[in-house]
């Protein structure tokens, strides 16, 4: 089968299907009301980033010459057309969910969103006083005047376009237009109004401004107002990454990001055509930039929707569990010395990862600490521990990936703080991202240096560890620690390791080739009539060469089961191509982030946890790690996690390239919701002392 001819779903179209699964959670009546509102926010936030990055990429492809575009498999104009069609349909459903489901459900709970036409006398007085006291310093109306007054629209910022008529114009033919920025970065988007009888009444900031807008335009009649927002290209383009100061180029790119070209102009779909055409000309917008939406934008502000302490409208708490095996000694190093330990977040506490670094900072036997920093919390006890360790004389090395999209500025800031504290900071490589999640700590024990490692599927980020589902391994096994040390040596010297990686699969070295070998082994076994099986859990599956190998495996009779949260360019269930492949996606209260690769290999079984998705960028353009689970008990536990996920018949959706996002039903009378089952599985183990 030629790679060019294989069934393949474009990654951006597949991603929109994933984001629709997020929207499904917002309309699921079994999800608590405030969580449904949160999923509206997640959907909107995801879509914003998609337009800033992926749609911006398609726009850049449009600008290529005809000869270059001929070589592209998917023409960007067609991709953009499909994207807009799908997004427009989803936006209509978003508005329907909000207006026809969320608003009535809020009303059932005595929570009401009032617009500026529904206010009672005391609420009007409150709104006017609030505007005068809190908003006047921030609202700066600008009358638009073609070719004379041009307004720069900030990225992802809310505005009101105002249709005005001078009071002396009796014919209403002399229309004027104005723009007002809605200061939602300074003022809460949801403002609580005076209310009685146990009600909670809210007004959106947009509507509060609408109510008082006449104060801003004396001498004019306000015909109407329409909300709008512009999304700008967030890609950092570096013409020559291999020469000059890469860090300075990143800083310059961050500054340019704020003024990047438009990738999306969202507007109230009731806006008159004449006003829309005026704005298009004034802001130099193209037809393909336009996305009609409802009355309100920047719906990620729903993250700040007040909960009024109504806990029954949120998910019941699942307090992170302690890990008994890591509580056995007062020192985490003593625990790791005894055996390997697997942590499953957010079900189990992240405190052990924090303790790993804090204990190392205070332990006189520790000489070296090495860590890869990809994304880090704004307030991080781990980073504080690194700085404390350096200040106490330990040799601390932090590799900082400054090309982590949207975290560039934060990572540069942390890097500067770390350097000031005495940490040896290593920065990004040109043309290569370091995405591995590794830490290595060296201790002197009985006169010898012993290495302890943490290998994970997720970042060293205390905040996301509470909402991302990830796996992490503590180990002292020299088969792994020696090779982790080899990775850090490569990062420090940029010299290819002298010895091959025998246990770790490492991007740029043996990750892709090792995965291919294991897939090919399953193909060989299937053709020999032996049992052959591959299980994959990942966030994204997009790499064409890997997809082609998986199709070949399916055609040979290998049973393949895939759990993929987001992009899935592979199309399961095609006769003669992928009929032995089943794929599901699980979207639930926690974001599925762990990557797991399992190969049966005639009963020998190879099981890896990984930082890498099956995308070309991860397999070919990054330093990634897939690490084997060598402890039999831990391997059994990971396989149990996979079994639980594969049995999900509540939050699992079918991936088939056609009816993607249909809920998977297996005919069982017993509901299995994988995330809850995982939590209670681990809780039972803890209570049984395991």
**How far are the Cα atoms of 102, 315, 561, 595 from residue 108, in angstroms, in the given order?**
10, 18, 42, 41
**How far are the Cα atoms of 13, 41, 46, 61, 690 from residue 78, in angstroms, in the given order?**
11, 28, 22, 11, 55
Residues 6+ apart with CB under 8 A from 41: 299, 300, 301, 302, 303, 305
**How far are the Cα atoms of 66, 82, 291, 663 from residue 85, in angstroms, in the given order?**
24, 5, 10, 23
Contact predicate 682/638, CB 8 Å: no
Of the candidates 209, 229, 223, the one whose C-alpha atom is nearest the C-alpha of residue 159 is 229
- pLDDT bin (cut points 50, 70, 90) of residue 573 is very high
- pLDDT tens sequence across 109-157: 999 999 888 899 999 999 999 999 999 889 988 888 876 666 788 888 8
d(Cα 177, Cα 143) in Å, to the nearest integer?
6
In CATH, which of 3.30.870.10, 3.30.565.10, 3.40.50.800, 3.90.1640.30 is domain 505-687? 3.30.870.10
Residues 6+ apart with CB under 8 A from 432: 508, 621, 622, 623
pTM (predicted TM-score): 0.92
**Per-chain mean pLDDT for the chain:** 91
Lowest mean pLDDT segment, chosen from 181-195, 249-263, 547-561: 249-263
- Summarize the confidence of residues 235-259 as an average pLDDT: 60
pLDDT for position 690? 67
Lowest mean pLDDT segment, chosen from 183-197, 315-329, 397-411, 488-502: 397-411
**How far are the Cα atoms of 8, 62, 70, 77, 85 from residue 73, in angstroms, in the given order?**
11, 13, 8, 12, 20
Of the candidates 98, 113, 111, the one whose C-alpha atom is nearest the C-alpha of residue 307 is 111
Whether the predicted pLDDT of 337 surpasses 70: yes
Domain 324-493 shares a fold with domain 505-687: yes
pLDDT for position 369? 98
Whether the predicted pLDDT of 242 surpasses 80: no
- pLDDT tens sequence across 389-446: 999 999 999 999 887 777 788 888 889 999 999 999 998 888 789 999 999 999 999 9
**Residue with the larger pLDDT of the pair 59 and 503:** 503
Just list the catalytic residues.
435
pLDDT for position 293? 83
Superfamily of domain 10-313: Polyphosphate kinase middle domain (3.30.1840.10)
DSSP code for 315: P
d(Cα 340, Cα 635) in Å, to the nearest integer?
11
- pLDDT bin (cut points 50, 70, 90) of residue 249 is low
DSSP code for 350: T
- pLDDT bin (cut points 50, 70, 90) of residue 97 is very high
pLDDT for position 1? 47
CATH number given to 324-493: 3.30.870.10
Q: Indicate the SS3 state at residue 610.
A: strand
**How far are the Cα atoms of 8, 16, 77, 542, 613 from residue 566, in angstroms, in the given order?**
15, 9, 23, 10, 10
pLDDT for position 239? 55
pLDDT for position 319? 97
Provide the residue ranges of all domains of the chain, joining segments of one domain with +. Answer: 10-313, 324-493, 505-687
């Amino acid at each position: 089968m030629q790679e060019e001819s294989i069934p393949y779903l474009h990654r951006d179209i597949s991603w929109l299907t994933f984001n629709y699964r997020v929207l499904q959670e917002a309309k699921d009546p079994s999800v608590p009301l405030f969580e449904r509102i949160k999923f509206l926010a997640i959907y909107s936030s995801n879509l914003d980033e998609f337009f800033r990055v992926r749609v911006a990429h398609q726009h850049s492809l449009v600008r290529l010459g005809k000869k270059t575009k001929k070589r592209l498999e998917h023409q960007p104009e067609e991709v953009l057309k499909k994207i807009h069609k799908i997004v427009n349909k989803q936006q209509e459903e978003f508005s329907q969910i909000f207006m026809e489901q969320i608003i009535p459900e809020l009303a059932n709970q005595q929570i009401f969103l009032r617009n500026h036409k529904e206010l009672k006398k005391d609420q009007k007085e409150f709104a006017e006083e609030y505007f005068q006291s809190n908003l006047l310093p921030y609202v700066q109306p600008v009358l638009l005047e073609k070719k004379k007054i041009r307004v720069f629209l900030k990225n992802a910022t809310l505005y009101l376009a105002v249709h005005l008529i001078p009071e002396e114009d009796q014919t209403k033919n002399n229309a004027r237009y104005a723009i007002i920025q809605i200061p939602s970065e300074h003022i809460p988007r949801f403002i609580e109004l005076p209310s009685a009888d146990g009600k909670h009444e809210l007004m959106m900031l947009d509507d509060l401004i609408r109510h008082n807008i006449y104060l801003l335009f004396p001498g004019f009649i306000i015909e109407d107002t329409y909300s709008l927002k512009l999304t700008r290209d967030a890609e950092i383009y570096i013409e020559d990454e291999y020469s000059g100061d890469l860090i300075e180029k990143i800083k310059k790119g961050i500054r340019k990001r704020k003024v990047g070209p438009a990738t999306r102009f969202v507007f109230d779909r009731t806006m008159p055509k004449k006003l829309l055409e005026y704005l298009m000309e004034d802001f130099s917008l193209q037809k393909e930039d336009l996305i009609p939406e409802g009355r309100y934008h920047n719906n990620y502000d729903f993250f700040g929707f007040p909960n009024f302490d109504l806990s029954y409208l949120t998910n019941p708490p699942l307090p992170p569990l302690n890990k008994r095996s890591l509580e056995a000694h007062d020192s985490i190093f003593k625990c790791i010395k005894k055996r390997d330990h697997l942590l499953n977040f957010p079900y189990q506490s992240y405190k052990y990862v924090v303790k790993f670094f804090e204990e190392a900072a205070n332990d006189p036997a520790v000489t070296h600490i090495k860590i890869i920093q990809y994304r880090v919390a704004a307030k991080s006890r781990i980073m504080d521990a690194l700085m404390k360790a350096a200040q106490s004389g330990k040799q601390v090395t932090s590799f900082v990936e400054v090309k982590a999209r949207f975290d560039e500025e934060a990572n540069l800031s942390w890097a500067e703080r770390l350097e000031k504290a005495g940490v040896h900071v290593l920065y990004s490589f040109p043309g290569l991202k370091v995405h591995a999640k590794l830490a290595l700590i060296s201790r002197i024990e009985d006169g010898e240096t012993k290495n302890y490692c943490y290998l994970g599927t997720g970042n060293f980020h205390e905040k996301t560890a509470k909402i991302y589902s990830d796996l992490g391994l503590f180990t002292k096994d020299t088969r792994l620690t020696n090779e982790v040390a080899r990775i850090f040596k490569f990062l420090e010297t940029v010299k290819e390791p002298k010895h091959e990686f025998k246990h770790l699969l490492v991007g740029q070295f043996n990750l892709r080739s090792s995965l291919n070998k294991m897939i090919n082994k399953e193909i060989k076994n299937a053709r020999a009539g032996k049992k052959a099986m591959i299980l994959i859990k990942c966030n994204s599956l997009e790499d064409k060469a890997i997809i082609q190998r998986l199709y070949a495996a399916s055609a040979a009779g290998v049973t393949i089961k895939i759990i993929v949260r987001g992009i899935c360019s592979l199309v399961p269930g095609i006769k003669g191509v992928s009929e032995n492949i089943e794929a599901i996606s699980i979207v639930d209260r926690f974001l599925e982030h762990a990557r797991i690769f399992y190969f049966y290999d005639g009963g020998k079984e190879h099981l890896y946890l990984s930082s890498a998705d099956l995308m070309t960028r991860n397999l070919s353009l990054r330093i990634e790690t897939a690490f084997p689970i060598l402890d039999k008990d831990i391997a059994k536990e990971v396989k149990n996690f996979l079994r639980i996920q594969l049995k999900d018949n509540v939050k699992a959706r079918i991936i088939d390239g056609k009816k993607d996002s249909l809920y998977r039903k297996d005919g069982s009378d017993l509901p299995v919701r994988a995330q809850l089952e995982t939590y209670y599985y681990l809780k039972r183990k803890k209570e049984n002392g395991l």
